[in-house]
C-alpha cells in the first residue's frame, strides 16, 4: 500500500472519530516549516501530529524534531503506518 493510501485511510478515520484534522502537504507548495507532520489536528483540546510512513520507513531528523516540539508543548505526536497505529496512540 502506498504512503498516500495509508494517509487517506488515517485521515478518513480521524475525521470520522471527530475533531478537526487536516493533511499538511497539499497543493503544489511545500509547508513553510521543514519536518512538519503529514496530518495535524485537534481533538478534545489536544493537538495531534501524525507522521505517516509505509512499514519499515522512518521519519527524518526534521520530522523527529517537529514531533519532539509538539510533545514538549503538550501535544501528541507519533508515526503511524496504519489506522491501527492511530487507534493505539489515541487511547
Kindly give the confidence (pLDDT) of every residue in the chain, 91 residues in length, as a single tens digit, with 9 standing for 90 and above: 899 999 999 999 999 999 999 998 766 666 667 899 999 999 999 999 999 999 999 999 999 999 999 999 999 999 999 999 999 999 8
Q: Which of 81, 9, 21 has the alpha carbon at shortest distance from 51?
A: 81
> How many separate domains does the chain show?
1
What are the cell numbers at 80?
503511524
Enter the pTM of the model.
Answer: 0.91
CATH of the domain at 45: 3.40.1350.10
Domain region containing 85: 3-89
> CA distances (Å), 47 to each of 26, 60, 67, in order?
20, 21, 11
**Angle value at C-alpha 85, between 81 and 87, nearest 5 degrees:** 140
Amino acid at each position: 500500500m502506498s504512503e498516500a493510501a495509508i494517509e487517506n485511510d488515517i485521515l478518513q478515520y480521524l475525521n470520522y472519530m471527530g475533531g478537526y484534522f487536516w493533511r499538511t502537504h497539499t497543493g503544489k507548495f511545500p509547508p513553510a516549516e521543514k519536518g512538519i507532520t503529514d496530518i495535524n489536528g485537534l481533538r478534545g483540546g489536544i493537538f495531534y501530529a501524525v507522521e505517516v510512513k509505509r512499514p519499515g520507513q522512518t521519519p527524518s531528523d526534521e520530522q523527529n524534531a517537529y514531533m519532539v516540539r509538539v510533545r514538549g508543548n503538550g501535544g501528541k505526536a507519533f508515526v503511524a503506518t496504519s489506522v491501527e497505529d492511530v487507534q493505539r496512540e489515541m487511547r
